[in-house]
Amino acid sequence: MSLPVLKTARLVLRPVAQGDADRIVELVGNFDVARMLSLVPHPYRREDALWWIDQTCAYADGGERAFAIDEGSGLIGAVSVGRDGPAPEFGYWLGKPYWGRGLMTEAGRAALAWYFEAFRDASILSGALDENSASLNVLRKLGFAGPHPHRLRIKSRGQDLPGTRVRLTFETFNSAARVLS
Ligand SMILES: CC(C)(COP(=O)(O)OP(=O)(O)OC[C@H]1O[C@@H](n2cnc3c(N)ncnc32)[C@H](O)[C@@H]1OP(=O)(O)O)[C@@H](O)C(=O)NCCC(=O)NCCS
């Protein structure tokens, strides 16, 4: 079973492919991206990208459901709605040249709508560092709520840093979408 292709006003969300490795290395290799992500090492090597691609492609066997975010000229970021289980994780990043245009809110909404179509009762977890205002704003706009403090391990910095965990249900997702439409 493979992930579908989802279209939004400006983006295509599609399964990640081996051919995305170079773009992922280039974009995640930027420390400004890596420093906000828990599990991403820095420097980021091609083998790190290939490992990540392999496990997302095997999502039916317990890997992540991760979409490549594509603006038409190749991968610009990724959004994932987690592994099977009672509380899947929502994770995401965009390459730095693409920040600040509302693209992650748009991509996140499409991925979450797709997920809730299949798993209406899901309770999706996410979180961000307290210093990551852009990410906390994305989560709030998508309807994630009930913030509680949580220290996050950041591999690229070798540090545990203050962060916030939040949760999304179908109801809070829909309410947020109504406010924005
Ligand atoms: C976090 C990230 C995905 C945001 O993507 P983005 O497409 O730039 O976000 P959006 O443009 O959809 O912005 C969402 C909201 O945050 C606001 N925002 C954007 N950048 C911001 C910043 N640096 N500080 C404060 N608010 C910011 C936007 O104004 C928008 O709110 P608004 O519509 O009310 O104006 C992107 O910065 C990124 O990939 N960062 C590195 C990796 C990362 O942090 N991943 C998430 C880990 S939890």
What percentage of the chain has pLDDT greater than the value 70? Answer: 94
Q: Of all atoms in ligand 1, which is nearest to the CA of residue 93?
A: 39
Residue-wise pLDDT tens digits, 37-68: 999 999 999 999 999 998 887 766 666 789 99
Of 135, 179, 181, best ligand 1 pocket probe by most atoms within 8 Å of the beta carbon: 135
Name which residue sits closest to atom 45 of ligand 1, judged by CA: 93
Is the pLDDT assigned to residue 92 strictly greater than 80?
Answer: yes
Distance between CA atoms of residues 178 and 54, nearest Å: 37
Query: Could you give all domains of the chain from N- to C-terminal order, each with its CATH number?
Result: 6-180 (3.40.630.30)
Q: How far is CA 107 from CA 23, 55, 131, in A?
A: 18, 21, 22
CB of residue 40 inside a 6 A radius of ligand 1? no
Determine whether 112 is exposed, middle or buried from the number of CB atoms within 10 Å of its CB (0-12, 13-18, 19+): buried
CB of residue 156 inside a 6 A radius of ligand 1? no
pLDDT of residue 59: 66
Cα(143) to ligand 1 centroid in Å equals: 15
CB of residue 138 inside a 6 A radius of ligand 1? yes
Residue-wise pLDDT tens digits, 70-82: 999 999 999 999 8
Distance between CA atoms of residues 98 and 76, nearest Å: 7
* Mean pLDDT (whole number) for 154-181: 93
pLDDT of residue 116: 93
